[in-house]
Amino acid sequence: MMPNKVEGESDLGTKQKRKRSGIAGWPEDERPRERLLSRGPHALTDAELLAILLRMGVKGKSAVELGRELLKRFGSVQGMMSAPLSAWDGIKGIGNAKLAQVLAALELGRRAALPTIREKTIIKSTTQAAEYFTARLRGLADEHFRVIYLNRRGRLLDDALIAKGTVDTVHPPIRSIVARALQTNASALIVAHNHPSGAAQPSDTDKLLTRDLIAACHPLGIKVLEHVIVTENEHYSFADTGLLDRLGLETLAPLPVKR
The model's pLDDT over 187-213, given as tens digits with 9 standing for 90+, comes to 999 999 999 888 899 999 999 999 999
- State the pLDDT at residue 23: 61
Residue 167, pLDDT above cutoff 60: no
**For the residues 17-31, what does the mean pLDDT come to?**
57
- State the pLDDT at residue 117: 52
- The more confident residue out of 146 and 56 is 146
- State the pLDDT at residue 168: 59
- State the pLDDT at residue 30: 64
- Please tell me the pTM assigned to this model: 0.60
- State the pLDDT at residue 18: 47
Q: Are strands 156-165 and 143-150 parallel, antiparallel or unpaired?
A: antiparallel
Question: Which CATH architecture group holds 118-252?
Answer: 3-Layer(aba) Sandwich (3.40)
pLDDT level of residue 224 (50, 70, 90 thresholds): very high
pLDDT level of residue 169 (50, 70, 90 thresholds): low
Residue 238, pLDDT above cutoff 60: yes
Residue 220, pLDDT above cutoff 60: yes
Edge-to-edge strand order for the sheet containing 156-165?
156-165, 143-150, 188-194, 223-230, 235-237
- State the pLDDT at residue 9: 46
- State the pLDDT at residue 203: 92
For the stretch 48-84, pLDDT in tens is 999 888 888 888 888 899 999 999 998 988 888 878 8
- The more confident residue out of 124 and 171 is 124
**For the residues 80-104, what does the mean pLDDT come to?**
87
Q: Where along the chain do the CATH 3.40.140.10 domains lie?
A: 118-252
The average confidence (pLDDT) of the chain is 83
